[in-house]
Amino acid sequence: MVAPATPAALARDPALPPGQDFDALKAEAIANLQQLCAGWTDYNTHDPGVTLVELLSYALTDLGYRATLPVEDLLAGASLGGREGLYPAWRALPSPPVTVADFRRVLLDRVEGLGNVWLTPRNAPAGLYDVRIHAALPLPGVHPEQHLRYRELARRVRRAFERHRPICEDIGTIRVLRPLRTLVRAELELELERGARAEAVMAEALFRLAIFLAPEPRRTPLDAQAAAAALDGPLLLRGLIAPGELTDKPATIDPDALAEVLRETPGVLRVRECRLWLEGTGECEGPAAIDPEAWCSLDAGIEEDALPLALSIGGRPCAIDRGEVLRRLLRRWEAHRASWPLEPAYRQAFALRTGMSRALARIAPLGPQLPRVYGLATPDKPDTPAAVQLEGFLKIFETVMADFCTRLGATSALAGGTIAFALPPPQQEKLLDMLLALYGVPADIIPTPPRFTHRGEAAARRRVAIKQTLLDHRGALARRRARGFDPEARGASRRRSGLELYASLLLGTRVCLIEHMMLRPRTRARRALEGSRYEYAMAVSVAITLPEDERRDHRYRGEIEAAIRVGLPAHIGLHMHFVEPARWRRLRDVERLWRAALRVDARHAADQLAVELRDLLERWTRRERERE
């Protein structure tokens, strides 16, 4: 029996927010009147003073109602100029890659033709990664020809890494692994269900062997029930990759493990005489080591006279249609390598809610809401002095309420990073601090030049201008946070490291940042010449051009160093150089030529310019130590 639905009813004593409770507002207003000007009214309900209190209390309930509107309504005004500042979750929550697993996901997601990739961090020097690439074969199961060239694939992997390169980190070596022809021979006894075919068992067995020998991560679509978990880490666009898919590169092969893979294949009843043959090793009696610079490419024997796996049913050999096996195998690989465009799924799962557009900044004048005897009920200008006086009295409240509604109507612009109403600098700075904190832009330390030491108002206006500039560049700062420069980038912000962009916006002056790790030798000749005399550590040198009085001010220099230190990862060293414009221009010119050489892969020129940069910074460091 279905229970009857509970009828909807209005509560006898609804609990209202303080800003919408007319009786509470009226009582508070009368209490204030009794305390401040007890003789202003006789407090009878027909008294004009009480009528005005009731009018103002009612008007305040409208303000309270507007302030508690849903957020989507507050941000859906017709004059929503800052809508681009409202980032959906799928754009705001993902972070740049940080861990090795993050970088593997990004490379697999951004580079077509990549079967798998492994990054091995070096201990000395720290900050370099050795990248090994497993190229996806277009026809799995058919061993490729010798001497394949994957130079373009390696180039695309390097470019994908450089676009997300952390500051003071880089690729040490990058190589495409060599495929080793691998044969697995075994006799399989099948037990097929009704309607099942031996070709399906053969294709599944070959697929599982190939994946076991050379793992390729599988992508999955976005699960609407766990969509938020997909944004933990870098943003993926072609399918999610689970942590369990990012396995280590196999170092050994055990024939017994291969036999177990075959036993777990659906339809296989028994496995006999599982043998392994590996190119360069031959027949393997036990576990065989795999060359670190190679991967095992299973030869399914599609092009041979006999398949390596012999199938039987009830002790009798089973005939196999090779064409059917190949078709099923290709379909299995196609399903495994399928990509799932995630951007439409992100937009659907994390869509910004659209609210009702309301005229939040519009307010009705209070005068026409009074009875006609007050002289303000008509839109005409009041004639009597009493009416003019009453209008002026009401204007005091109308102005305050209109200012409240104007600020409420500008909420959408404020969320977009624009303060659409005039405020004193201290209040502007508080709003900017709140918005910068929402976007994760550090702005706690704003260095104050010595010329503003005794000019408080000018210093406040300067801080507001700098924080507004940081807020205007919040998107670029978020994307480039803790990232190094990208020599081949087209956009100006990506050509600079995130810290260099942040420091230049913070100081309003020219900043040159050099990553010591990137000055390392690029050619054999320079590596042989230097040997181990120089250590290219995870540190940066920041050169800033300042006037002479600011260079001599230790307080100002300390504030600059503290502000830059906040934007730099804690494990990276910081070396500051405050120089005059001529020396800064010299450093900047050499640094631009060095980056240009890196962009065109002119390694000899890059090495020569890197040595010049290194020597220049060392001379500055020695000179500064002598002065101290």
- What is the per-residue pLDDT across 23-34, written as a single tens digit (0 to 9) for each? 899 889 888 888
Angle, alpha carbons 123-124-127 (nearest 5°): 70
Question: Which residue from 46, 2, 55 is spatially nearest to 26, judged by alpha carbons?
Answer: 55
Residue 394's pLDDT is what? 87
pLDDT at 379 over 80: no
Q: How many CB atoms lie within 10 A of CB 98?
A: 14
Q: Tell me if 433 sits within 8 A of 471, measured CB to CB.
A: no
Q: What is the pLDDT of residues 296-326, one digit of tens each?
A: 999 887 777 677 888 888 888 888 888 888 8
Provide the angle, in degrees to the nearest 10, between the axes of the packed helices 198-213 and 322-336. Answer: 50
pLDDT at 416 over 90: no
> What average pLDDT does the segment 532-539 reach?
84
> What average pLDDT does the segment 450-479 reach?
91
- From residue 320, give the alpha-carbon distance in Å to each of 186, 196, 312, 577: 15, 13, 10, 75
With a CB cutoff of 8 Å and minimum separation 6, the contacts of 163 are 110, 486, 489, 494
Give the least confident one: 188-192, 542-546, 559-563: 188-192
pLDDT at 137 over 60: yes
> What average pLDDT does the segment 119-138 reach?
90
Mean pLDDT of the chain: 87
How many whole angstroms separate alpha carbon 265 and alpha carbon 209? 10
Q: Which residues pair with 288 in a beta bridge?
A: 253
Residue 82's pLDDT is what? 41
Q: What is the pLDDT of residues 147-156, one digit of tens each?
A: 556 889 999 9
Assign 78 a pLDDT band (cuts: 50, 70, 90). Answer: very low
pLDDT at 77 over 60: no
Give the least confident one: 55-59, 96-100, 126-130, 406-410: 406-410
Residue 328's pLDDT is what? 92
DSSP-derived 3-state class of residue 45: coil
Assign 80 a pLDDT band (cuts: 50, 70, 90). Answer: very low
Residue 144's pLDDT is what? 59
Question: Which residue from 209, 203, 197, 199 is spatially nearest to 298, judged by alpha carbons?
Answer: 209
- From residue 256, give the alpha-carbon distance in Å to each of 275, 301, 408: 9, 21, 71
Residue 71's pLDDT is what? 85
pLDDT at 5 over 70: no
Does residue 361 or residue 334 have the better pLDDT?
A: 334
Residue 336's pLDDT is what? 95
Residue 226's pLDDT is what? 83
Q: What is the pLDDT of residues 32-64, one digit of tens each?
A: 888 888 777 777 767 788 888 888 898 999 988
DSSP-derived 3-state class of residue 9: coil
Element (H, E) at 205: helix 198-213
Residue 44's pLDDT is what? 75
Q: What percent of the chain has pLDDT over 70?
A: 93
Q: Model's pTM, two decimal places?
A: 0.86
Q: Tell me if 447 sits within 8 A of 560, measured CB to CB.
A: yes
How many whole angstroms separate alpha carbon 279 and alpha carbon 211? 18
Residue 346's pLDDT is what? 93
With a CB cutoff of 8 Å and minimum separation 6, the contacts of 569 are 166, 167, 482
Q: Please name the residue that has the structure tokens 């202003």.
A: 40
Residue 79's pLDDT is what? 44
Per-residue DSSP letter, 483: B
DSSP-derived 3-state class of residue 185: strand
Residue 422's pLDDT is what? 77
pLDDT at 561 over 90: yes
